[in-house]
Chain A
Amino acid sequence: MKIIETYNLTKIYSSLRRKSSVHALSELNLSVEEGTIFGLLGPNGAGKTTLIKILLSITYPTSGSAKILNEELSNYLVKSKIGYLPENHKYPPYLKGGEVLEFFGKLSGITGVSLKKKIDELLEMVKLTKWKKAKVKNYSKGMMQRLGLAQALINDPELIFLDEPTDGVDPIGRKEIRDILLDLKSRSKTIFLNSHLLSEVELITDRVGILNKGKLLREGAVKELTEKGEEYKITVEGGSLDEITKEFISTIVITNTGNNIYSVKVSNMDDLNKLLDLLRKNGIIIREMVKQKQSLEDMFISLIKESEKGNA
């Protein structure tokens, strides 16, 4: 089931003073499946936060429409099933950690014993139990993020929006947040994640979308997006590929990367098998053969550069 769907979603910010307008989102069509972790990537100003804000009716679209949990955005009651951790969130500084959760829990419709139980459970989960009675003005950035995550989960949401959840969190804290997200996924929660930390996104997301200047450049499973076609790294012993593969030159691209390691790009599996047969025939031992992938970061950077060139 699709839990988020957008149809030609467009947001234009107009400035009367400057007589100019900024296209934060341009005819965005996107869908997110239930029970998945979806990562939205993009450089600063790409429109990632605007998209979340529109989906939560914090900002309104200029045109287009969207559905969330199969409901129109205008139905604010659907937010009882949604959790949100905004970027640079602020809590009233006079409240204590537990009171912040109490306030947002009450606004989410939870009261009484179940709220108290949930508060203790979540503070335990984000390791802030000892800080329950400390005022949030004394919290560090990392602690604020962890409290923010607890706040986003106070209503046991089906869909969770996280905007830069690991911002300001140390590596151990990040790992803990990743584990929490994976645990939520195992409980069939859907997570929509905005992050700059591509290596982290790569570790936990099922699908990613890449946004630049309000346009969705690419969307798909992380595995699909990071595969480099039929490219292999082959480590050999007892000979060189340089001489014996000349006859394949038109169909196979081989690059010697040193230390008997070769990068091999083939156009089809037949060519690859022919190459392997040839190596064996020439007494060359194949020590290792690995299908090549590019990191999400590499793919992201090249995609954004391509897009910038296209726009220029």
Chain B
Amino acid sequence: MRPFTYERAQSPAQAAAAAARIEGAKFIAGGTNLLDLMKLQIETPTHLIDVNGLALDKIEATPEGGLRIGALVRNTDLAADPRVRRDYGILSRALLAGASGQLRNKATTAGNLLQRNRCPYFYDTNQPCNKRQPGSGCSAIGGFSRGHAVMGVSDACIAANPGDMAVAMRALDATVETVRPDGSGRQIPIAAFYLTPGDTPQRETVLESDELITAVTLPKPVGGRHVYHKVRDRASYAFALVSVGAIVQPDGSGRVAMGGIASKPWRIEAAEADLPRGAKAVAAQLLDGARTTDENAFKLRLAERTLASVLAEAKG
């Protein structure tokens, strides 16, 4: 790790102000992803702003009948919350499909939304990577790309967003709440939160470097059957090759989001009108325009089949 100075934030706005004031500063909450990357010198913050002391660890009911999840609510606590288990099962299931028990005890709601990708070339500082070192090139294109994205990719980057929780948040139409140094805030719909790589793959979300996530809100429950299937190389504690989350109503209508296949949690609302017709019709629209490599082309068929199994479970 490179040396860094450290402070404990006193309030969300103060934390944001510190990030604005100090060049190279970063927020740290759970730290499970950031410290990993700092050890490899992929992340080299000059200053860490520890936000763990901020009282952002509550899950509260909203006047609209939804939930407001504090940024610091740990993955374990969010997955185990009785209201989430009852009304937002897709979220519990997605969280429990991610990482390990130890990591979920530390990882936070906000931090998990911001976890970096797992492209092996992003992790190998001896290799070119446009995300880590803009303009240096993409080693994954033409390289080892079995785990990479087939949707929302560009000539600069084909890394897949590795998240599970974010897939559920996308299906649930969550909103990300932030605070800026001047105390003002933004409410960002999750659909507009992530960026596709384009020619600036180093920018993964619309957040500014001095903008702190304070909460994620969920609209009121939509009912239906909640299912999340994650397909991976081992049964537990591995990133998704393909994951599919769905909320299916008794009449067969519903919502679908996918993970492991795209640069961001992947949902195309227009495709959902075809849900009653089955997986093939929906997958064809979700994966329209896919850009595959020899190594990851299998994801197209795997995604359709995983969706079929999800819809079968939702029906049964």
Partners in one complex: no
Interface residues of A (CB under 8 A from B): none
A-binding residues in B (CB < 8 A): none
